[in-house]
Homo-oligomer: A and B are copies of this chain.
Amino acid sequence: MEHQSFEKSALNTVKRLPKRGFYDKETIYGILDQHFLCHLSWEDQGQPYLIPTAYGRKEDTLFVHGSSKSRMLVALTDGRPLCMVVTLIDGLVLARSAFHHSMNYRSAVIYGHARELDGDEKMEALRIISDQILPGRWDEVRLPNDIEMKATTALAIEIDTASAKIRTGSPGDDDEDYDLPIWAGVLPVSLTYHHPIPDPAMKHELPEPQSIYSRLIKEKQ
């Protein structure tokens, strides 16, 4: 495959702690594929805007969607620069000194621009986003009709450049601080799924759908 990495530029280069910076697609896309919620920012007349939103990825393209009236989607449709971040928190890093406290995390920063989708491309984008949130769910539900498609905007985000920043492992303290009688280590954190809560309005007795087991370990009855 060509272009396996993004070129380093003033925009995407990780300046602080450059050892934590990654520019290859495998690492960046690997982070993107671990989540379904991004934060997305754009600017309008010097004012930055920022919202959390669901996304999906297919190959080199990211997809977001929402109401056709969404402030974000209306703004981004004109192709202005955007910045999108996906952050996975893996742990609190507890050092002996306050200064060396940190977090274990994996974050991907995308610089790009959006274009509005229509027709089959638009439906495909919605499927990709749905699959990213809960793989398999798209095949279990009633798909969008024409009215719903009209009320929805879907955008493709072309990635201009990107980088990832990753911290893993134990704290790194100053040499002399290792003698201090202070507990140090990592408190792991993760996004965890819990047992599903059926809609009380369900009219049918139905087993839990297969899709949720993409997120949840099947419990013993």
Q: How far is the CA of A216 from the CA of B187 in the complex (A)?
A: 9
Partner-binding segment picked from A22-30, A55-63, A86-94, A114-122:
A86-94
How many monomers of this protein are in the complex?
2
Given contact pairs A50-B39, A101-B141, A185 touches B199 in the complex (Cβ within 8 A): yes
B interface footprint on A58-88 (CB within 8 Å = 1, 0 otherwise)? 0000000011011100000000111111010
Q: Which of A41, A144, A148 has the largest number of chain B CB atoms within 10 A?
A: A41
Report how many residues on chain A are interfacial, defined by Cβ distance under 8 Å. 97
A138 part of interface (Cβ distance < 8 Å): yes
Residues of B within 8 A of A51 (CB): 85, 107, 109
A4 part of interface (Cβ distance < 8 Å): no
In the complex, the answer to whether A96 meets B142 with C-beta atoms within 8 Å is yes
A176-200 residues at the B interface, CB under 8 angstroms: 177-200
Could you list 16 A-B pairs, sorted by A, with CB under 8 Å? A15-B69, A16-B70, A37-B87, A43-B43, A48-B48, A48-B81, A50-B84, A97-B148, A99-B151, A103-B133, A134-B187, A140-B182, A183-B208, A184-B198, A185-B198, A191-B192
- A binding-site residues for B, Cβ under 8 Å: 11, 15-16, 37, 39-43, 46-52, 54, 66-67, 69-71, 80-85, 87, 89, 91-92, 94-99, 101, 103, 105, 107, 109, 111, 126, 130, 133-134, 137-138, 140-145, 148, 151-152, 170-171, 177-204, 206-209, 211-212, 215-216
Residues of B within 8 A of A46 (CB): 43, 80-81
Distance in Å: Cβ of A17 to nearest Cβ of chain B: 8
Given contact pairs A137-B101, A197-B185, A209-B94, A142 touches B180 in the complex (Cβ within 8 A): yes
Residues of B within 8 A of A193 (CB): 187-189
Residues of B within 8 A of A70 (CB): 15-16
Distance in Å: Cβ of A178 to nearest Cβ of chain B: 6
Q: How far is the CA of A185 from the CA of B194 in the complex (A)?
A: 12
